[in-house]
Structure 1
């Protein structure tokens, strides 16, 4: 592991545990046994560290979404649910970003710019995914295009803000948290399923 990788790994662990307002780059330098100056050679301040971690998050999600869109899914709801779980596991890994998202985008405006710039691309990916599941006979074909478009927005909202809800309401940890909210998302798609889709949805219960 390179020094930069060690810095980012330590920063992610510390930010997840205590937040970006509490943890300074001096804390992170001490955690991995390097000098404050050595850390600043790689990342000048907390803002650069947060941006680097957001970049990692984006790259992991890009890899997942590219795989989901490119790989033909098995004709079942299981595959769809499995991809939600993979995404939510990534979100939980970088949970400090979502728990403090508003404050973070105010602190690092470039993150807001990057986040908003991904909208069109992500919408295209989700639209392709939903179309594929309609072709497989899992999702219904009799739902207006506008409803599918708005469902993507609802999926954004739920995916990006389930972590604060968990923090305030439930306090679930690790995979228990991921599994709970994956199930909620899965249930949200029930009205969009065909009879075939409902059968495969029931297999997940």
Structure 2
């Protein structure tokens, strides 16, 4: 692993474990047993490290989205796996979501990128939802305004479940991912065909 990659990996671990606002570049350098000057050769400021970490998150999510997008025979199971693995990825970058508003205000480049991603994801989700209707997973007669707002509802839940968990149930990693991914899946239940609702109750209702 190259030094630059080691820096982002170490920073991610420290941000997740000890809190974004308590970790500086000196902490990261000390954890790696390198000089601050060596670290600053690769990243001038901590904000640059956060931007690199955010880019890594986007790359992982792009791969997940493309996999679902390109799956021709989309099923209820593929929707569940996408949701579950999305929550696994988000938990791996949990400091971003626990400090999301502060980070967006502090680093305008991330805010601009986040807005761009939101627009792109909405278009991708619209196509995916259409495929679910074609495959008889979703009902045919879902009102347009429901489908149009569904991606926004997904963003609201996905972007905030980690903060909500830290304030309420405080579930450990595995339990939290399972619990909140199913909460998001429940969002789709009213849209499923009768047959798929039966499958959902059989396989996902605890």
3-state SS in 1 of match to 2:138: coil
Counterpart for residue 94 of structure 2: 95
Asked if 1 retains the 8 angstrom alpha-carbon contact of 2:68 and 2:78, the reply is no
Partner of 1:120: 119
How does the TM-score come out when normalised to structure 2? 0.96
Question: RMSD of aligned C-alpha atoms?
Answer: 1.1
- Total equivalences in the alignment: 204
Counterpart-to-counterpart distance in 2, 1:172 and 1:25:
30
* Higher relative contact order, structure no. (Cα contacts within 8 Å, ≥ 6 residues apart): 1
Q: How far apart, CA to CA, are the structure 2 residues paired with 1:166 and 1:131?
A: 32
Q: Which residue of 1 aligns with 2:58?
A: 58
Tell me whether 1:185 sits opposite 2:175 in the alignment.
no
SS at match of 2:201: helix
SS class of match (1:170): coil
Give the SS at the match of 2:20.
coil
1:192 CA displacement: 0.5
Partner Cα separation in structure 1 for residue 173 and residue 31 of structure 2: 23
TM-score (norm 1): 0.96
The answer for the alignment partner of 1:14 in structure 2 is 14
CA contact (8 A) 1:88 1:182 kept: yes
CA contact (8 A) 1:98 1:161 kept: yes
Please give the alpha-carbon distance, in whole angstroms, between the structure 2 residues aligned to 1:62 and 1:77: 20
Secondary structure of 1:50's counterpart equals helix
Q: Confirm whether residue 200 of structure 1 aligns to residue 196 of structure 2.
A: no
Task: Classify the secondary structure of the residue corresponding to 1:21.
Answer: helix
CA distance in 2, matches of 1:73, 1:126: 16
Measured after TM superposition, the shift of residue 20 of structure 1 is: 1.8
Shift in Å, 1:174: 1.4
| 1:97 CA displacement | 0.3
Matches within 5 A, 1:143-158: 143-158=142-157
SS of 1:54 mapped into structure 2: helix
Give me the whole-angstrom Cα distance separating, in 1, the residues matched to 2:197 and 2:6: 45
Instruction: State the distance in 2 between where 1:168 and 1:120 align.
Output: 29
Q: Give the drift of 1:67.
A: 1.1
Residue segments in structure 2 that go unaligned for 5+ positions in a row: none
Partner Cα distance (1:202, 1:16) in 2: 35
* Deviation of the 1:79 alpha carbon: 1.6
In structure 1, stretches of 5+ residues that fail to align are none
Aligned-pair CA distance for 1:120: 2.2
Aligned partners of 1:105 and 1:111 also within 8 Å: yes
